[in-house]
Amino acid sequence: MSGAQEYRSANRPLLTVEHLTMRFGGLVAVDDVSFTAFDREITAIIGPNGAGKTTVFNCLTGFYKPTVGRITLHREDGEMYLEQMEGFRIAAKGGVARTFQNIRLFPHMTVLENLMIAQHNPLMRASGFTVLGLFGFSSYKIAEKAAVDRARYWLEKIGLLEKADDEAGSLPYGDQRRLEIARAMCIDPVVLCLDEPAAGLNPRESADLNDLLKFIRDEHNIGVLLIEHDMSVVMGISDHIVVLDYGKKISDGTPEFVRNDPTVIRAYLGEEDEEETAAMTGGEG
């Protein structure tokens, strides 16, 4: 069984998933999946549609309570069991940020406001839970300025500085994708979970995205978890790939290893071949 093969890395483990299982009624969306994501690495989770990738993400970020399993976040200040925490605490206390498959910005708020909301918790503390802020204490003003600076930094990074005061919902699709990543980075995460960030991007945008993700990994020193269909993105930037099929892990290793894993080729790439063959024969007939 190739699932027994586990990826090893010299880096510190960041997130350990053990025996994760998620059932919806009779449907087993994720079936006894275990893997480890390491610090300062990009870990890609790939698999055909319906393999349970997004469900894994939803369990990691607290939107679903897993039926069985343990999810351990190894922070420098201690360990956290994410499956026991409420979703917003996973983000606030654990520092696990995420984006969504169908972008979830605050469409009627401006780009800058979107990034300010991501810094809600530190700003709340600085505003004395609103009381000090109401009376215009300088501590809040300083904190707000720092928050704007951080937002400005990310806006520069994603090339949206000019559009800071535009409504987020009015941006082109690619900009919205990047803004969502910048927003997630504004919560100052230790893990960034990206759900199909390259979906709907053109090749140039896709290449930009690769650079952005590498930058985040290398300059901000955090772990990135990635669900992606675009193989150019996956093979180009991932340090580590976990392959799911029908809710089960079928392969786990370096891009090199996964690419040559016969199980993956059979279950994943092979299936695609079959589809293509079917499409071709269908076209001829």
Partner 1 sequence: MADLSINAEKARALDMGALLKDAGLTAFVAFALSISLVGFQIKDASGGLQLITRFGDVAVVTAIAFIGRVLLFLLRRGRGRAVLISSAVLAAVLLLSILASMTPDSLPQAIVATARAVLPFGNVVLSSVMLIVLVVLAVRGYQVMTHSVHEMTMEERDREMDKVAARVQKISLFLGPLALVFAIALPFMPFADRRIVDIGTLVLTYVMLGWGLNIVVGLAGLLDLGYVAFYAVGAYSYALLAQYFDASFWLALPFAGIMAAAAGVTLGFPVLRLRGDYLAIVTLGFGEMIRIILLNWYQFTGGPDGLSGIPRPSFFGLPFTRRVPEGGDSFATFFGLDYSSLHRVVFLYYLILALAMITNLFTLRIRKLPIGRAWEALREDEIACRSLGINPTNTKLTAFGIGAMFGGFAGSFFATRQGFISPESFTFIESAVILAIVVLGGMGSQLGVVFASILLIGLPEIFRDLQQYRMLAFGAAMVLIMIWRPAGLLAHREPSIRLWGRDKIGKKAEVHS
Partner 2 sequence: MESTFEYFLEQLINGVTLGSVYGLIAIGYTMVYGIIGMINFAHGEIFMIGSFIALITFMILGIVGITWVPLAILIVLIVAMLLTSVYGWTLERIAYRPLRNSPRLAALITAIGMSIFLQNYVQLLQGARNKPMQPIIRGGIELMRQGDYVVSLSYLQMFIILLTIVLMAVFSLIIAKTSLGRQQRACEQDQKMASLLGVDVDRTISLTFVMGSALASVAGVIFLINYGVIDFYIGFLAGVKAFTAAVLGGIGSLPGAMLGGMLIGLIEAFWSGYFTVEYKDVAAFSILVLVLIFRPTGLLGKPDVEKV
Element (H, E) at 243: strand 240-245
- Give the angle 190-194-198 at the CA atoms, nearest 5°: 140
**Residue 58 interacting with partner 2 (CB under 8 A):** yes
Per CB under 8 A, the list member of 3, 9, 18, 63 interacting with partner 2 is 63
252 touches 7 (CB < 8 A):
yes
Q: Is 183 helix (H, G, I), strand (E, B) or coil?
A: helix
**Residue 54 interacting with partner 2 (CB under 8 A):** yes
CB contact set of 30 (below 8 Å; sequence gap of 6+): 20, 21, 22, 52, 55, 56, 59, 66, 244, 247
Number of residues interacting with partner 2: please give it, by CB under 8 A. 5
Report the partner that residue 235 touches, choosing among partner 2, partner 1, none (CB closer than 5 to 8 A by kind): none
**Residue 24 interacting with partner 2 (CB under 8 A):** yes
Per CB under 8 A, the list member of 183, 217, 248, 249 interacting with partner 1 is 183
Query: Segment contacting partner 1 (CB under 8 A): 107-115, 197-205, 240-248, 274-282?
Result: 107-115
**Residue 117 interacting with partner 1 (CB under 8 A):** yes
**Residue 106 interacting with partner 2 (CB under 8 A):** no
Q: Is 169 helix (H, G, I), strand (E, B) or coil?
A: helix
Please count the other Cβ atoms lying within 10 Å of the Cβ belonging to residue 131.
10
Per CB under 8 A, the list member of 37, 42, 171, 184 interacting with partner 1 is 184
Residues 37-56 that bind partner 1 (CB under 8 A): none
Query: Segment contacting partner 1 (CB under 8 A): 3-11, 40-48, 133-141, 210-218?
Result: 133-141
**Residue 91 interacting with partner 1 (CB under 8 A):** yes
Handedness of CA 181, 184, 188, 192 (dihedral sign): negative
SS (H, E, C) 29-74: EEEEEEEEEECCCEEEEECCCCCCHHHHHHHHCCCCCCCEEEEEEE
CB contact set of 158 (below 8 Å; sequence gap of 6+): 175, 178, 179, 181, 182, 212
d(CA 98, CA 120): 16
Please count the other Cβ atoms lying within 10 Å of the Cβ belonging to residue 174.
18
Per CB under 8 A, the list member of 110, 214, 229, 254 interacting with partner 1 is 110
Query: Segment contacting partner 1 (CB under 8 A): 20-28, 42-50, 113-121, 228-236?
Result: 113-121
Give me the least distance between CB of 68 and partner 1, in Å please: 23
Contacts to partner 1 by CB under 8 A: 61-63, 87-89, 91-93, 97-98, 100, 104-110, 112-113, 116-121, 123-124, 127, 129-130, 133-134, 140, 144, 148, 151-152, 155, 161, 164-165, 183-184, 187
